[in-house]
Structure 1
Amino acid sequence: MGLITSLVTLPLAPLRGTLWVVDQVLTAAEREYYDPEPVMRELKDLERRLTSGEIDEAEYDRREDELLDRLEEIESFRQAGRAAAHDA
């Protein structure tokens, strides 16, 4: 970047910094939201609760379906990310 370009775009520096921070927060949030490990822990806990008698079979089936749907969503997101990275 030349001196003139730097001087002309200087007023935009706070905006670029803010956009960078927003991008970093979004990336961290996506990483956390699309992490399969918490879902796997919930599945294990759900099975433990069923075997210990805390919940009945109907509750287990309902909650298991929700968690498996969540895992499918995570896998779809990851595959889309890999496809986008491959295309780039």
Structure 2
Amino acid sequence: MGLIGEVLLLPFAPVRGSLWTIRQVVAEAERQYYDPATVRAELALLEQRLEAGEIDDAEFDRREDELLDRLETGLGRSSGRGNGTT
């Protein structure tokens, strides 16, 4: 069903292309979200906000836990790919 299947599915090509594009955008957004450098920068900014008195200790602890979870996930993702970055 190779050639016939492609001809029959041709009207759906824009949809398949759109889905591929959406997958690529989501993958890049996740890569940036879990990027260890980004998370570390957010941790530094969070500490500055605490020292400046913009947030209290409870808010700092809550946000720090979230960021550390993201960092752990990001480091696990990069080491899990087997690309030699550990």
Normalising to structure 1: TM-score of the pair?
0.62
Which residue matches 1:78?
78
Q: Displaced runs of 4+ in structure 1, greater than 4 A?
A: none
1:12 equivalenced with 2:9 (yes/no): yes
| Amino acid aligned to 2:60 | Y
Gap change, CA 1:24 and 1:10, over 3 Å in 2: farther
Which residue matches 2:24?
24
RMSD over aligned Cα atoms: 2.8
1:69 equivalenced with 2:39 (yes/no): no
Which residue matches 1:38?
38
Normalising to structure 2: TM-score of the pair?
0.63
Q: 1:40-63 CA deviation, whole Å, 9 max, x = no partner? A: 222111111122222233332232
Number of residues paired by the alignment?
80
Unaligned runs of 5+ in 1: none
Q: Percent identity?
A: 51
Cα distance, 1:72 vs structure 2: 0.5
Larger radius of gyration: 1
Higher helix share: 1
Indicate the larger mover: 42-51 or 16-25: 16-25
Unaligned runs of 5+ in 2: none
Which residue matches 1:56?
56
Is contact 2:43–2:67 with CA below 8 Å preserved after alignment?
yes
